[in-house]
Structures are given as structure tokens and as C-alpha cells.
Structure 1
Amino acid sequence: MNKIELDKQTRDNSREIADANPARLGTRLKLARQTRGLTLKALSEAANCSESLLSKIENGKASPSLPMLHRLVQVLETNIGWMFEESDGDEGIVFRAGTRPLIALDPLRRGEGISLERIIPYSQGHLLQCNIHHIEKDGASAGPIQHAGEEVGYVLAGEIELIVGERQFQLSAGDSFVFNSDLPHHYRNTGTERASIFWVNTPPTF
């Protein structure tokens, strides 16, 4: 099998694993809401989102944007990592190529064109969150967002514009960055090809 075929198989396998994520997210969200004793209406009002959309998310029929997820977990006093956590037992140490899930937080918003390849599982047992952000041509992150923690990134491929607070940075393969997560931040692909960023943040948020 050549590299192109292997890359395609890896992406296909990752997408198959990701298919169950909306249902998993919906189940976790509903559990967190019920644990807090909140109705759909109460949570939607507190998180400034549509009650009907929230119902669809809980039933696995829709996926929220990243800013919406941040609002929901703030109200529910949990974290986004827990929403996607897959490991409830002993943690693994090695995660092989071709087995890492590829997550699209909002697959209904095709214009965003972003997927997250998990380097390590979402788990409360980890102090770090680590993903590879894949941004398709003309893709951009939802936001800006801000939260507690610190962000570190390394551009693996492509060209991106990183916006942190009031500052804008043009980055290409080999460039790296670090900033406090409480600064509003987002990014977009400014090149002609898919861009990829190796991204680490602490504490885990998404």
C-alpha cells in the first residue's frame, strides 16, 4: 500500500470512528444537564442558545459550534474534554497511526472546514489537551473564543492567520506560537492548500 492509499485509509478509518461522536456528545450533555437539575429551556437561556437546537444536539441530530460548547460547559460547570471523553478505565500510553479519531465539532457548518485529529484521548486523567487542527482551504475557526489556560502550537503545513486579542499573525509551516487562553483567539487558512497545526493547550477544554 503506497502513502496516498495509506493516508486515505487513515482518514476513512478516523471518520468512521468520528461518526458516533454526535450521539456521545448528546448523551454526555443531557447527563450533565440532568445532573444539574436544569430543563432544556433553562440551559438554553443560560447559555444563550436555541432550545430546539439544544434538543437536537442531545438527541445526536446536530452538533454545536465551539463557542456554543464553551457557553454550555460554563453553565454546566464541566469541561469540553469530558463531553468527548472516551476512556473510562485505565489510560493507554501509545496511540497508533490510523487509530486516532478525527473530530468535526460542527459538521453542519461545512464552511468552517476544520477537523481535530486527537493525539491523546479526551480524559480527566490528562493535564494536557493535544490535537492536530486540520483546516481546509478557506476554512476558519468559530470564534473568537477565550477560556482559562495556555495554548501552544506548531504549524505543520500550509499558511494560517492567527488572531490573538487585537493582534494578527501570518504563519507558515515551521512557525510556532504560545499565548494565554484568556485572550480572545481564532484562526483561518489563508493559503491555497489544507493547513495543519499541532496544538496543545492546558487545561483540557475541547
Structure 2
Amino acid sequence: MNKIDLKRHAGDQPDPLEQANPMRLGTRLRLARQTRGLTLKALATAADCSESLLSKIENGKASPSLPMLHRLVEVLGTNIGWMFEETDSEEGIVFRAGTRPLISLDPLRRGEGISLERVIPYSPGHLLQCNIHHIEAGGESAGPIQHQGEEVGYVLAGAVELMVGERTFKLSVGDTFVFKSELPHWYRNTGTERASIFWVNTPATF
């Protein structure tokens, strides 16, 4: 259950290729590590994670947290988008309601209750990263995280608490935010119902 869970909205049949994505993530991570001549131990040390966990991730048996992914790609000189890179839909412009896949990281750890609905696919040529963050009641993002770029968000549903640097903001439906990604940031659902945030990052990192 601690693998990356890729699924479509209820009522849609899962795509077998999407179900294979956890293994693809591990394969790409191993490829990037070997291309740079790093041993498993060397990468684990540089990214501040355990060698055993990294081995499980490379074999598709475990999923990394978002902060860990950021550390790994920084050491490897790549970006998180490349780890999840996929081909655009046939049209490559319009992505219909009910067809956008959801991705959940760390279902058994601190990111519990968080799923990302992809608005822009992880594929070459996109300057923006855009997801709808769905946060179940009591859910919170793993963090804080920091990276290059800028963040913009719009609260679609629910009540959330956004922490940026040393400041905390209570947000509700219709509230928006913008901040530099270099500032430590994370969030949590403070309500009793599911919250959703339309979230854009630039440049694309995930």
C-alpha cells in the first residue's frame, strides 16, 4: 500500500500502463543514478535517506516522500517531472473531466490523504506544472519543502492552513495565494470535509 497509487476517477477503468508507473519511477531513478556513476549508498548519503528505502523505491516496492524526491533529483541533476514523464493525450491540448489521473504519494506516511489530479501532464515541453491538490480531512502535505520557482494557488473547496516561511495563513473557498518556491512551505486540511486547491508551479518541477 505504500507504492505510488495511480488511478482514475471512480467509474473509470484503470490504465495498465498507469499501474506500472511505480516501477517506471524506480527504473528512471536507477537509470539517473547509474548514468552519474553513483552507488546506491552514495546517492542515499547525498540525499539524506536510507539505503534500504532507496533500494525499495528503485524496485517499485516503496514510494518516496515529496521532500525526498526533491533531494534526490537535486543530487541527480534532473527534475521530478522527468521521473513521471509521460506522453500527452492524443490531442495534447484538452484533457476531459473524468480522464485526468490522480497520483497519491506516501499513503502511509505524513502525506496521508493527499492526492494530485494532473491538469498538465508530466511530459516534455511544458513550462508550467499544474495539479489540483485534493486533501482529505486531517490530511497534510509532507514538508516543509523548498525548490526554485514560484507557486500560485486558488482554493476550490474546503478550509486549509498554508504555512510559508514563518507565516501561517488560514484559507477558504475563493482565496488565492502566490509565493516564491524558495520559501519553506507546506499545508494541511483544517476542516471536516475534503479540500481542493488548484495549484500552479513554475518552472515545472513535478
TM-score by length of 2: 0.90
Letter in 1 for 2:67: P
Could you say what secondary structure the match of 1:10 adopts? coil
How big is the shift at 1:123?
1.9
Paired residue for 2:103? 103
Paired residue for 2:166? 166
Percent sequence identity over aligned pairs: 80
Alpha-carbon distance in 2 for matches of 1:92, 1:25: 22
Whether the 8 Å contact between 2:111 and 2:142 is mirrored in structure 1 is no
Whether the 8 Å contact between 1:33 and 1:39 is mirrored in structure 2 is yes
Whether the 8 Å contact between 1:160 and 1:187 is mirrored in structure 2 is yes
Letter in 1 for 2:107: P
Whether the 8 Å contact between 1:69 and 1:80 is mirrored in structure 2 is yes
Alpha-carbon distance in 2 for matches of 1:90, 1:34: 33
Paired residue for 2:69? 69
Letter in 2 for 1:22: P
How big is the shift at 1:72?
0.2
The farther-off stretch of 73-82 and 103-112 is 103-112
Paired residue for 1:13? 12
Aligned length: 198
Letter in 2 for 1:68: M
Deviations 1:85-130 (A, max 9, x none): 1128987111112221100122332762101000011123100000
Deviations 1:149-187 (A, max 9, x none): 000000000000000000000001111100000000000
Alpha-carbon distance in 1 for matches of 2:202, 2:111: 28
Letter in 1 for 2:97: A
Letter in 2 for 1:120: I
Whether the 8 Å contact between 2:158 and 2:196 is mirrored in structure 1 is yes
Paired residue for 1:128? 128
1:43-192 matches, within 5 Å, as 43-87=43-87, 92-109=92-109, 112-192=112-192
How big is the shift at 1:22?
1.3
Alpha-carbon distance in 2 for matches of 1:173, 1:12: 27
Alpha-carbon distance in 1 for matches of 2:128, 2:135: 22
Whether the 8 Å contact between 1:149 and 1:202 is mirrored in structure 2 is yes
Alpha-carbon distance in 1 for matches of 2:163, 2:78: 27
Alpha-carbon distance in 1 for matches of 2:166, 2:185: 9
Alpha-carbon distance in 2 for matches of 1:159, 1:27: 38
Which structure has greater helix proportion? 1
Whether the 8 Å contact between 1:14 and 1:102 is mirrored in structure 2 is no
Paired residue for 1:4? none
Gaps of 5+ in 1: 1-8
Gaps of 5+ in 2: 1-7
Paired residue for 2:4? none
TM-score by length of 1: 0.90
Could you say what secondary structure the match of 2:12 adopts? helix
Deviations 1:57-82 (A, max 9, x none): 01100000001000000000000011
Using a 3 Å threshold, how does the CA distance of structure 1 residues 189 and 166 change in structure 2: closer, same or farther? same
Whether the 8 Å contact between 1:14 and 1:101 is mirrored in structure 2 is no
Paired residue for 1:5? none
How big is the shift at 1:23?
1.2
Alpha-carbon distance in 1 for matches of 2:200, 2:156: 13
